[in-house]
Amino acid sequence: MAVLDDITALLGQPGFHWSDPAPWARLEEEFGVSFPADFREITDAYGPVLISGKLYLDHPGHSIRNLGEEIRELIGFWREEDSAELLPGRAGAAPGELLPVATGTTAETVFLRIPVDKAAPWSVAVQELDSGEFMLYEMTFGNWLLAFLRGEDVMAGSSFPDRPFYESLA
């Protein structure tokens, strides 16, 4: 995937290299969605990581930084009355809902918006809990992450290191 090549050029060589599809199959069966290929490919390459000290990504095959557990917890949090008021739609895994897939170190949640039409592209949304700001980005997760790595304003905390880096949490 070309986007993964661009991400690798900025972030460095991945070290996780997950190849067993079983955890993804279980996760997709549980939530009734097929995660976007770019999200799976990036997550499989890098595994659970902290990117540039700002963005946490988890993986469904990791025992501690487990993506499925994180999604369940975040859906529960975002469905609570006080939290739900901050989102323009419902957190969940149904078409049109916001599926939480990553978190920031300064109270952000990164969502994948599930398209209502299965042929339509997925998009990325970020809710900044501290400010209450919700932003929708009509781009794939890979393109959103690439924008993040380039220092574009797609998440709170606009100060970035000279070169993106990651810390493996595996």
- What are the φ/ψ torsions at residue 107 (nearest 5 degrees)? 70, 35
| pLDDT tens per residue, range 65-110 | 999 999 999 999 999 988 888 999 999 999 999 999 999 998 999 9
Q: Residue 37: what pLDDT?
A: 95
Please give the structure tokens belonging to residue 110.
Answer: 């990164």
Q: What Rg value do the Cα atoms of the chain yield, rounded?
A: 15
The CA distances from residue 112 to 44, 64, 143, in Å, are 17, 22, 12
Low-confidence ranges of the chain (pLDDT < 50): none
Half-sphere exposure of residue 16: CA atoms within 13 angstroms, side-chain side: 27
Q: Residue 118: what pLDDT?
A: 84
Q: What's the predicted TM-score (pTM) here?
A: 0.95
In the chain, the domains with their CATH numbers are 2-152+160-168 (3.40.1580.10)
Q: Residue 158: what pLDDT?
A: 56
Distance CA 65, CA 48 (A): 6
